[in-house]
Amino acid sequence: MTGRPILEIKNLVKQFHDEMAAEQGNILDGVDFTMYSGEFVCILGPSGCGKSTFLRCIGGFESYEGTILVNGQKVERPGTDRIMVFQEFGQLLPWKSVEKNVQYPLKVRGLRDKAKLQEISDTYLEKVDMLAYKKFYPHQLSGGMKQRTAIARALALSPEIVLMDEPFASLDAMSRNNLQSELYKIHQRENVSVIFITHNIQEAICLGTRILVMSKDGKIKMDIRNPLVKPVTPASPNYGEMWDKLHSALYEMTEE
């Protein structure tokens, strides 16, 4: 535990109300979870277990039963204290340049000072190594560059929590490795709190200070601190043990 509790979730229950709902039951079934400021929480779990739904509830995009508090305030709608970054490369506005994409949500929030907008977008684009491409448009960027821009846009809003739903899943292995280490460095420097969904055990071990495993019945089945010292590589002490532990938790569930 690194800081104060910034996210407190008690008995979170989510069910959808469409024609499949009766068959599916509760998607999230009484989830309790407290996150502390500065944590990097990675969430693993079988496909369809409710990871994205969990993140969307925290983001304020879904109705829910139970309690979700961010800094003591009940989550009822989206807010700039919780910014989401998705897997899809199409998150940027295609008609705006890289820097205008970063500036746009700040403008929506009421910042009109052009020099200040420029300063903020330059600062955050530099952090993700995109400053040289600030005049480019999304169609001129690689997938990794689009994701870097989406991360800069999220960080520029100084959110309390960045919510990331498999942000690197569509990238090639090399870009993914690079972005993983850059994201971890940014997390350390900015002391931002991150919840990061992944299907990749290695990614969870490399990035997470804490790792959750969700089960198909919509519960948190495992919640462990990640003691491995960063930067983590497969040669790090205890890497194999941690990988085995997470793999068997996931494998048991997919066998169920």
Q: Under the rule (CB under 6 A), what is the footprint of ligand ATP?
A: 16, 18, 24, 27, 45, 47-53
**Contact indicator for 31, 43 with CB cutoff of 8 Å:** no
Decide whether 18 or 255 has the Cβ nearer to ligand ATP. Answer: 18
Decide whether 37 or 200 has the Cβ nearer to ligand ATP. Answer: 200
Decide whether 16 or 251 has the Cβ nearer to ligand ATP. Answer: 16
Which of these, 120, 119, 200, 188, lies nearest to 153 by C-alpha position? 120
Interacting partner of 50 out of Mg ion, ligand ATP, none (Cβ under 5 to 8 A depending on kind): ligand ATP
Decide whether 18 or 256 has the Cβ nearer to ligand ATP. Answer: 18
**Contact indicator for 45, 51 with CB cutoff of 8 Å:** yes
**DSSP of 21-69, one letter per residue?**
HHHH--SEEEEEEEEETT-EEEEE--TTSSHHHHHHHHHT-S--EEEEE
> Does residue 52 belong to the site contacting Mg ion (CB under 5 A)?
yes
Q: Residue 133 is encoded by which pair of tokens? A: 């491409």
Task: Write down the least CB distance from residue 15 to ligand ATP, Å.
Answer: 9
Decide whether 88 or 182 has the Cβ nearer to Mg ion. Answer: 88
Task: Write down the least CB distance from residue 165 to Mg ion, Å.
Answer: 6
Q: Residue 241 is encoded by which pair of tokens? A: 């043990």
Residue 213 DSSP SS3: strand
CA trace torsion 224, 228, 233, 234 (10° rounding): -60
Interacting partner of 215 out of ligand ATP, Mg ion, none (Cβ under 5 to 8 A depending on kind): none
Task: Write down the least CB distance from residue 191 to Mg ion, Å.
Answer: 27
Interacting partner of 146 out of ligand ATP, Mg ion, none (Cβ under 5 to 8 A depending on kind): none
